Amino acid sequence: MGANSSLLSPESSDGTNHPAKLQLGDIPESCVALVLSYLDPPEICKLARLNRAFRAASSADFIWDAKLPLNYYHLVEKYLIKDPNKLGKNEIYSRLTRPVRFDAGNKEFWLDKRTGGLCLSISCKALTITGIDDRRYWNFIPTDESRFHTIAYLQQIWWLEVEGDIVFRFPTGSYSLLFKLRLGRFTKRPNRWASNHEGVHGWDIKPVKFQLSTPDGQHAVSKCFLDNKDTWVYHHVGDFVVDDSDKPTKVKFSLTQIDCTHTKGGLCVDSVLICPSNLVKDFKAL
């Protein structure tokens, strides 16, 4: 019956007739892997620390194959290494959950650790901002508040126009686009950072307008008054749907307030975020 029959024998190793106890390490690796395949990645990683059997089982390719996006091979080949076959699926998942920079470091994407959904962030430096080259209107400010370590700060302007676009092979699904904004800036004081509202004006007169569009006719428009002083807020622009992960999707987006009857100032623009629609609440809670 083989070595495993000893587990069923009433005689234990010391010669007494007590049933032998089944240990976690005695469970076949294939069975452990099958159980792990039903869990979320963070749960799998926790159980992998139990013992060698669980650690070995957690690296089974079929577990991670189901959790990777359908076009993961393209993402790895284009942005990580030329031959994805050199990496195990668990290593691929691990690498893709860490931010992957591209476009001269002004854009990055990553997989959400829990769901495997693809998120993408676009730095303010990759946006087209009217007046950005004139320091009377805008300044790029270095800061650790941003994942890109730079924000765009508006001194004062009549015509607010911030535009951008992205061409990317998103996995199929529904996505939301959000602008990360704040009114006011922080200035360094002795031993602390202090909020500075000087220059914040004009945002309570007329709302700003957000837009997004795709070449296949998807379009979204939203408006709101900006009032979030001292706090970064993700402003939801709208949603779009990707039906084919094998083709690049182009998304155009904008933030405008072009009523020239008044000036506005004191706005910080950090980045634009694109994420699966079911993850929006996670970012808005930050």
Nearest 5°: the CA angle 42, 44, 48 is: 120
Q: Are residues 120 and 259 in the same domain?
A: yes
Q: Are residues 92 and 124 in the same domain?
A: no
Q: Are residues 214 and 254 in the same domain?
A: yes
Give the domain extent around 177: 103-109+116-284
pLDDT digits (tens, 9 = 90+) for 226-239: 998 888 999 999 99
Structure tokens given for 171: 């996995």
Q: What average pLDDT does range 201-216 have in this prediction?
A: 96
* CB-based contacts of 120, cutoff 8 Å, min separation 6: 107, 108, 109, 166, 168, 170, 273, 274, 275
Distance CA 156, CA 24 (A): 65
- According to the model, what pLDDT value does residue 8 have? 41
Structure tokens given for 105: 């470091």
Q: Are residues 67 and 132 in the same domain?
A: no
Q: Is residue 205 part of a domain?
A: yes
Q: Is residue 262 part of a domain?
A: yes
Contact 242, 175 (CB under 8 A): yes
Q: Is residue 147 part of a domain?
A: yes
Q: Are residues 168 and 267 in the same domain?
A: yes
Exposed / middle / buried, residue 204 (Cβ in 10 Å: 0-12, 13-18, 19+): exposed
Contact 249, 170 (CB under 8 A): yes
Q: Are residues 203 and 246 in the same domain?
A: yes
Question: Which of 72, 98, 124 is where one domain is finished?
Answer: 98
Q: Are residues 140 and 214 in the same domain?
A: yes
Residues listed for the chain: 286
Assign residue 188 the CATH number of its domain.
Answer: 2.60.120.260
Residue entry with tokens 């997989």: 111
Contact 120, 107 (CB under 8 A): yes
Contact 124, 149 (CB under 8 A): no
Of 2-11, 242-251, 266-275, the range with the lowest mean pLDDT is 2-11
pLDDT bin (cut points 50, 70, 90) of residue 28 is confident
pLDDT bin (cut points 50, 70, 90) of residue 10 is very low
Backbone angles phi, psi at 76, to 5 degrees: -70, -45
Q: Is residue 91 part of a domain?
A: yes
Q: Are residues 183 and 65 in the same domain?
A: no
Q: Is residue 84 part of a domain?
A: yes
Distance CA 164, CA 173 (A): 22
Question: Which of 98, 130, 145 is where one domain is finished?
Answer: 98
DSSP alpha helix (H) spans, the chain: 29-36, 41-47, 52-57, 61-65, 72-79, 89-96, 280-284
Percent of the chain with pLDDT over 70: 87
Q: Is residue 15 part of a domain?
A: no
pLDDT digits (tens, 9 = 90+) for 38-81: 888 988 888 888 888 888 888 888 999 999 999 999 999 999 99
Tell me which amino acid residue 32 is.
V
Q: Is residue 275 part of a domain?
A: yes
Q: Are residues 87 and 175 in the same domain?
A: no
Three-state DSSP at 266 gives coil
Q: Are residues 164 and 251 in the same domain?
A: yes
Q: What average pLDDT does range 249-267 have in this prediction?
A: 95
Q: Quote the number of domains for the chain.
A: 2
